Structure 1
Amino acid sequence: MNKNFIWRFVKKLANLNFSIFVLSLIAFFCICGSIIEQDKSLSYYQINYPHYYLFILFLGFDHIFRTFYFALILIVFILSLITCTFSTQLPSLRNARRWKFLYSSCISKTSDYLLKNDSNSKYFFTSIVYSLMRINFFVFYKNNSLYSYKGLYGRVAPIFVHFSIIAVLLGSIVSFLFSFVVQEIVPQGEVFHLKNIINAGFYSYLPDDLVFRVDNFYINYNTNGSVKQFFSSLSLYIHNYIILHEQLIYVNKPLRFFSVTLYQTDWQIDVARINCGVNSNIQKKFFKVNINGQNCWLLNIPISKDNNIFFVVFNLDNNVLVCSSSGLILQEVNLTEKFYINNIAFTINSIVPSTGLQIKVDPGIVLVYFGFFIMIFSTFTSYISYSQVWIYINVKSLSFMGSTNRALLFFEQDMIYLNNIYSYHLLSRFKRINTLLV
Structure 2
Amino acid sequence: MAPLKRLAAWLSDLRLAIVLLLLIALASAVGTAIPQGDSPVSYIDAYSSTPWLGLLHGEQVLQLQLDHVYSSSWFLALLAWLGLALILCSWRRQWPALVAARRWIDYRTPRQLSKLAIAESLPCPNGNQGLAQLETVLRTNGWQVQRQPQRLAARRGVIGRAGPLLVHTGLVLLMLGAAWGALAGNRLERFLAPGRSLDLLDRDGTSQLTITLDRFAIDRDPAGRTEQFRSALHLQGGSQALNAEISVNHPLRHRGITIYQADWSLATISLQIGRSPVLELPLQAYPELGDQIWGLVLPTRPDGSEPVFLSLESEQGPATVFDADGQQIARLRPGGPAVDVKGLPMRVDAVLPASGLLLKRDPGVPLVYLGFAVLLVGGGLSLVATRQLWAIAADGTLSVGGLCNRNLAAFATELPQLLQQVRAPDVNTAPTTDQQG
TM-score (norm 2): 0.84
With over 3 angstroms needed to count, the CA separation of the structure-2 counterparts of 1:23 and 1:189, relative to structure 1, is same
CA RMSD of superposed structures (Å): 3.4
Q: How many residues align?
A: 426
The amino acid across from 1:263 in the alignment is Y
Structure 1 Cα separation of the partners of residues 370 and 204 of structure 2 = 24
Deviates more, 1:274-283 or 1:168-177: 274-283
Can you give the 5+ residue segments of structure 1 that lack an aligned partner in the other structure?
A: 196-202
Taking the TM superposition and a 5 Å limit, the aligned residue runs for 1:16-415 are 16-20=14-18, 22-40=20-38, 41-43=42-44, 44-49=46-51, 52-53=56-57, 54-104=59-109, 106-107=111-112, 110-121=115-126, 124=129, 125-194=131-200, 208-239=207-238, 243-245=241-243, 247-289=244-286, 295-304=292-301, 306-322=305-321, 324-325=323-324, 326-330=326-330, 332-335=332-335, 337-341=337-341, 344-415=344-415
> How far did residue 251 of structure 1 move?
0.8
Contact 1:256–1:262, Cα closer than 8 Å, also in 2: yes
With over 3 angstroms needed to count, the CA separation of the structure-2 counterparts of 1:408 and 1:205, relative to structure 1, is farther
With over 3 angstroms needed to count, the CA separation of the structure-2 counterparts of 1:433 and 1:98, relative to structure 1, is farther
The amino acid across from 1:187 in the alignment is A
**Could you say what secondary structure the match of 1:234 adopts?**
strand
Structure 1 Cα separation of the partners of residues 249 and 428 of structure 2 = 66
> How far did residue 167 of structure 1 move?
1.2
Structure 2 Cα separation of the partners of residues 384 and 205 of structure 1 = 53
With over 3 angstroms needed to count, the CA separation of the structure-2 counterparts of 1:352 and 1:21, relative to structure 1, is closer
Structure 2 Cα separation of the partners of residues 430 and 131 of structure 1 = 21
The amino acid across from 1:26 in the alignment is I
With over 3 angstroms needed to count, the CA separation of the structure-2 counterparts of 1:281 and 1:294, relative to structure 1, is same
Deviates more, 1:49-58 or 1:405-414: 49-58
> How far did residue 173 of structure 1 move?
1.2
Contact 2:317–2:332, Cα closer than 8 Å, also in 1: no
The amino acid across from 1:176 in the alignment is A
**Could you say what secondary structure the match of 1:101 adopts?**
coil
Structure 2 Cα separation of the partners of residues 105 and 269 of structure 1 = 84
**CA displacement, residues 102-151 of structure 1 (integer Å, 9 cap, x when unaligned):** 12253255221111223434661311211222222211122422111111
**CA displacement, residues 409-430 of structure 1 (integer Å, 9 cap, x when unaligned):** 3212321321222123445677
Deviates more, 1:296-305 or 1:125-134: 296-305
Structure 2 Cα separation of the partners of residues 337 and 138 of structure 1 = 87
Structure 1 Cα separation of the partners of residues 264 and 185 of structure 2 = 25
With over 3 angstroms needed to count, the CA separation of the structure-2 counterparts of 1:429 and 1:302, relative to structure 1, is same
**Could you say what secondary structure the match of 2:48 adopts?**
helix
> How far did residue 302 of structure 1 move?
2.0
The amino acid across from 1:183 in the alignment is E
> How far did residue 182 of structure 1 move?
0.3
> How far did residue 29 of structure 1 move?
3.5
Deviates more, 1:338-347 or 1:100-109: 338-347
Give the equivalent residue in structure 2 for 1:199.
none
The amino acid across from 1:377 in the alignment is V
The amino acid across from 2:294 in the alignment is W
**Could you say what secondary structure the match of 2:314 adopts?**
coil
Can you give the 5+ residue segments of structure 2 that lack an aligned partner in the other structure?
A: none
Structure 2 Cα separation of the partners of residues 141 and 342 of structure 1 = 104
